Amino acid sequence: MIKNLVSKALLSIVMDKNARERLENRQKLKKAVETIEAVKSDAAPPEETAGSGMPGDTDEVRALIQASIEAAEEEFKTKPRLTPERQALINQALNVQREKMHVFDGLTQEQREKLYVVALKSLKPDRDVKVRQAAGRYLKKPLKK
């Protein structure tokens, strides 16, 4: 449990939300495949009991499992990733951002760099070291203390 918490915290620092979701989906799919393979290997009847039981049961169970897996995969593929309301909200935010970008056209490169550092410090005031590192990467040179 703690391992998952730490893992998610580290991933949130390193990866963006979409990448984390794709990674989680891949992991879920991998676990599902492993579970299915385990069920298939466990469901295979031993040779000595194969003739004594009902012969069609294992085939029916396998077919049912396979059909449910295919239905789940199809639902996952066809399920819309964004609702229309959410997509409209995102488009609206992007339009507002494009409209406001002209404010930065009048700034010099030095003013932009200073604004970037101030924004980082205001958003993450308790992480001064990380701000310096991020600003250093952005500015292509280390930031003075």
Q: Please give the angle made by the CA atoms of 68, 74 and 77, to the nearest 5 degrees.
A: 145
Site of tokens 């799919």: 29
What's the pLDDT tens digit per position in 84-125?
A: 888 899 999 999 988 888 888 888 888 888 888 888 778 776
pLDDT of 68 > 80? The answer is: yes
pTM over 0.85: no
pLDDT of 140 > 60? The answer is: no
Q: Describe the chain by its helix, strand, coil percentages, rounded to 5.
A: 80, 0, 20
